[in-house]
Amino acid sequence: MGCTVWHAVRSEQAGGIARRDSGGRIPGVCHGFKALRDSLCPRGSWRDSIARAEGLAVGYSFRLPVDGAAGWVNPVRFREAQFLIWCARAAVPESLRRRILDVAQAGLNWPLLLELAKSHGVESLLARTLTGLCADLVPSADLDALCRRTEAAAAANRAGAGDLLQLSRAFDEAGVSVLPFRGVGLAAMIYGDLTLCAPADPVTLVRRDQLVEAHQLLVSQGYSVRGGEGDRAVETGACERQLVYLHANTSRQIELLWAVRHARMIFRMDRPEVWGWARPVSLDGRKTKGLAPEEAVLLLCAYGAHQAWRQLSLVTEVAGLVRAGRLNWKRVLTTALEWKCYRVLLLGLALSHRVMEAPIPPQILDMIAADPDVVNLARRMPKSLLLQQQEGLDDHDVGALLFTLQDDWNARWRYGIALCQSHDPIIHTTPEWFRWRRSLHWLARGVSPVHTLSRWLSPPASIRHLFHR
């Protein structure tokens, strides 16, 4: 965010000493809107839509409340971001209802709020809260647009649930083990309502050793790997990435996932415990196999870390699983230690507690508080909701994030070698919060020449799989 915006807002928070113009705006804040847009929306369609929102909000400034709502001010997040966090939950507690009403009455940049909700995958949750609490305070054009999008998303999710059930039956008949991960399956488990998630394409977990069979079944059902890439790699057993399939007639997509990876390091998600503890989940009144909440929390935390927790929907999903109150915490912690993702879990739980006030057990909060790296990182995500976004983490920082979260010294430096071998951007431009920058720099100076030599001596990637049969 531009310094002009930050200093003006902080001055207002410090005691209302910032001068205002005749319209009640803080001087300099309007001029900082473009800088705010650029920091919020670094690329893609979201930035374009914020630009459209800017045109609808000419002259708008980020005014902080100076009346009874002043108690809610959060110095870490800007006003619309904090409001979105309060609203992005299936059930809003009574303690937040008054705050939501006060802030809505004080005025918001509604186009910006709606664009944030869209980008973070929580439009349906926002619409549910606004229509239930303060529909009369939202500009009718903005509320109508939000409701139209959420109705379309609900219809798409119901259609997606039907496709997922049909494919699940086909997989079962073929003896292929799959489980719904993100999308309608997870929304049904957390909220009991599959319409409360973003209209994303279903993400399905599959066993690595059944990837070829799953691929062949999807092809027989009219799907193909998006872009036509990867078919040969799957059929030869050499595919090491997630696969997105597109249906030829309906254009619907489904994603097969067995691991998440970064810098040649793979975190497997097709663990025996995932299938061993699977339980039925209801999709639109029909039963299918689903994840147990304990394994779902662990997988979400690992997935979120590999995404730098850039979407609020990831945090709300973890918080929703915690709020459901059905977690066997002993099993969660034991499994995290076995999977070597203990600190990854702590970060996900820290975010769910810090951002969404999820009721984490006191013993686990003590574990989080005892880990300064986890506490520090939890303050920096999701980046696009922070007031000072230069302090946040994004895709560029994933390597440093995962390096920091390794459970022990041995795992951390094996990961460091992988970062060097893959020429990860973090080797050359390390963030200020990363306390191993000098050590990683010297490691890269030793590893890079050896890796370059090994690449010259190794066979081409196109025939490498022949040597591993």
Confidence check: pLDDT of 269 > 80: yes
Q: Rounded CA gap, 48 and 36, in Å?
A: 13
Q: Which amino acid is at 230?
A: G
Confidence check: pLDDT of 174 > 70: yes
Tell me the average pLDDT of the chain. Answer: 80
pLDDT tens column, 132-145: 999 999 999 999 99
Q: Rounded CA gap, 294 and 296, in Å?
A: 5
Q: Rounded CA gap, 384 and 81, in Å?
A: 8
How much is the CA Rg of the chain, to the nearest whole Å? 23
pLDDT tens column, 411-430: 998 998 888 888 888 888 88
DSSP result, 92-118: --HHHHHHHHHHHHH---HHHHHHHHH
Q: Rounded CA gap, 111 and 131, in Å?
A: 16
Q: Which amino acid is at 365?
A: L
CATH architecture of the domain 168-291 equals 2-Layer Sandwich (3.30)
CB 288 within 8 A of CB 306: no
User: Which residues are within 8 A (CB) of 380 and not within 5 positions of it... i.e. 6 or more apart?
Assistant: 386, 391, 392, 393, 433
Confidence check: pLDDT of 154 > 80: yes
φ and ψ at residue 2, rounded to 5 degrees: -65, 145
313 pLDDT band, cuts 50/70/90, is very high
pLDDT tens column, 186-213: 888 888 888 888 776 688 999 999 999 9
- Lowest mean per-residue pLDDT among 140-154, 226-240, 300-314, 340-354: 226-240
Q: Rounded CA gap, 301 and 222, in Å?
A: 33
Position 186 scores a pLDDT of: 87
Q: Which two tokens stand for residue 207?
A: 């066993």
9 pLDDT band, cuts 50/70/90, is very low
Position 252 scores a pLDDT of: 84
Confidence check: pLDDT of 16 > 70: no
Position 319 scores a pLDDT of: 96
DSSP result, 228-256: G-SHHHHHTT---S-EEEEETTT--EEEE
Write down the residue that tokens 């004080």 correspond to.
106
Cis ω before 382 (30° cut-off from 0): yes
Q: Rounded CA gap, 128 and 138, in Å?
A: 13
Confidence check: pLDDT of 72 > 70: no
Q: Which amino acid is at 209?
A: D
370 pLDDT band, cuts 50/70/90, is very high
CB 33 within 8 A of CB 41: no
Q: Rounded CA gap, 245 and 265, in Å?
A: 24
Q: Which two tokens stand for residue 81?
A: 């971001």
Cα angle value 370/374/380 (rounded, 5°): 140
Position 18 scores a pLDDT of: 35
